[in-house]
Amino acid sequence: MDEPKKGVIRETDAEAIRLAKTLLRNARFGALAVIEPQTGSPLASRVGVATDIDGAPLILVSMLSAHTGAMLADPRCSLLLGEPGKGDPLAHPRLTLVCKAARLERGSSEHARTERRYLNRNPKAKLYAGLGDFSIFRLEPQRASLNGGFGKAYHLDQSDLLTSGPIVEELAASEQSAIDHMNADHLDAIAVYARHFATASGNDWTVTGFDADGMDLMSGDHVCRVFFPQPLAAARELRHVLVEMAKVGRASADTGTGLNFA
């Protein structure tokens, strides 16, 4: 009797979710696929990417582009994230999100928050973000496929990717002041987070975003993701967590150990 074949899709575990969130939060660009309204054919384009506090992808696009018109006609779209490195590009992790696109109206609190987060992550976009024909779209993930490399395929649902609950609105209200404070007064601590928790080199790191799971850092064109040891339950926990992580990182540097939560 033939043995039953093993399924190609692995069971989604905490490690897979962590990798998917890392790919999502680290993305600075992606391949957006939409449905061309005139023909029903698929249409792909490269777009700049950031994330909302809950983890949903954000894109800033011109209303004159073909993919923007397609999203307005049919919000169904897909976003491919993940940068290839050396060697076979198919050996590197990538995440494919199935989404519904929603244009955010200028003047709304949601637009103000998402534009702020997008420009924190993509500061060069300030050159055109204020032009009348550019709009922020939030891509609401419905489900996702993660390929972590050969033989590492997973299916994820929305709850695996997005944060929900009061913490999202709490952080939305306090995030920018925390970012400004850290970047003005605690660049040394940010460098500790990057080196110790993300094994990143250099000292020119700044914070571009906080969320319940962790923080996004940037140095020039380089980005890294630092996860908190435990997700925040309330925004007021952020300061304590940052202080404790700085202590852990500095103590590790003093003793030469390499504890890593990233």
CATH of the domain at 200: 3.20.180.10
Tell whether 238 and 175 lie within a shared domain: yes
Strands 9-10 and 153-157 come out as: parallel
For residue 1, the model assigns a pLDDT of 45
- Which residues are registered as beta bridge partners of 58? 50, 138
Specify the pTM. 0.92
Distance of alpha carbon 186 from alpha carbon 70, whole angstroms? 44
Q: Is residue 257 part of a domain?
A: no
Distance of alpha carbon 68 from alpha carbon 130, whole angstroms? 17
User: pLDDT (tens digit, 9 = 90+) per residue, 108-151?
Assistant: 999 999 999 999 999 999 999 999 899 999 999 999 999 998 88
For residue 135, the model assigns a pLDDT of 97
The two tokens of residue 241 are: 């967590």
| Boundaries of domain holding 197 | 165-251
For residue 84, the model assigns a pLDDT of 84
Instruction: Indicate the average pLDDT of the chain.
Output: 93
* Number of structural domains in the chain: 2
Q: Which of 162, 181, 199 is the last residue of a domain?
A: 162
Distance of alpha carbon 139 from alpha carbon 52, whole angstroms? 10
CA-based Rg of the chain, rounded to a whole angstrom? 19
Pairwise pLDDT comparison (128 vs 260), residue with the higher score: 128
Tell whether 142 and 195 lie within a shared domain: no
Q: Which of 146, 162, 178 is the last residue of a domain?
A: 162
CB atoms within 10 A of CB 101: 23
Backbone angles phi, psi at 130, to 5 degrees: -85, -5
User: pLDDT (tens digit, 9 = 90+) per residue, 187-237?
Assistant: 999 999 999 999 999 889 999 999 999 999 999 999 999 999 999 999 999
